[in-house]
Amino acid sequence: MDMLREYTFSLEYETRVYLLSVLLGAAIGVLYDVFRALRIVFPHKNIAVAAEDVVFSFLSCSAAYVFATAFTGKLRVFTLVGMAGGFVLEHFSVGNLAMFLLSKAVKTLKGWVLMPLKKFIHKIGQKIKASFVKSHINLLKNKKNLQSP
């Protein structure tokens, strides 16, 4: 009977760990959505996309390894299956809604932060341009005055 009680506790514990691994997989899915939203709002070159993929892979693999070894002492297939299931579940259920909300939020922040910065840089550019045009006009006048006998 002790053996059955020990097995039941172990099965209960593994069920909890499995459900937590599904939750971690969903969290990794949200992290993936953040990277997707950034790619939509700020289009960038393939090298930057590759760097983001490396960062995402490192973070998600590190989280999976730490989670699996912390709860079970070693990597177990059921925890990896739970994380993959959570990721897929998040991606196909709330992932699209999360993408929509994240991209809107990032676009709004982009407008608040980058638009004033863009206007400021444009003003500076206009002043520099005016200065160069004025210098060029003065240079042409001086050249004409030097060429006149």
More confident residue, 52 or 142: 52
pTM: 0.64
The pLDDT tens digits of the residues spanning 73-130 come to 777 888 889 999 999 999 888 888 877 887 788 778 777 777 777 788 878 888 888 8
What is the model's pLDDT at position 147?
65
What single DSSP character describes residue 94? Answer: T
What is the C-alpha to C-alpha distance for residues 20 and 70, in angstroms, rounded to an integer?
Answer: 12
The pLDDT tens digits of the residues spanning 45-63 come to 889 889 999 999 999 999 9
What is the C-alpha to C-alpha distance for residues 14 and 103, in angstroms, rounded to an integer?
Answer: 37
| Cβ count near 103 (within 10 Å) | 17
What is the model's pLDDT at position 100?
80
What is the model's pLDDT at position 5?
52
More confident residue, 33 or 136: 33
State the first-to-last Cα distance of the chain, in angstroms, to the nearest integer. Answer: 119
List b or e across 13-28, with b for residues whose CB sees 16 or more CB atoms inside 10 angstroms.
eeeebbebbbebbbbb
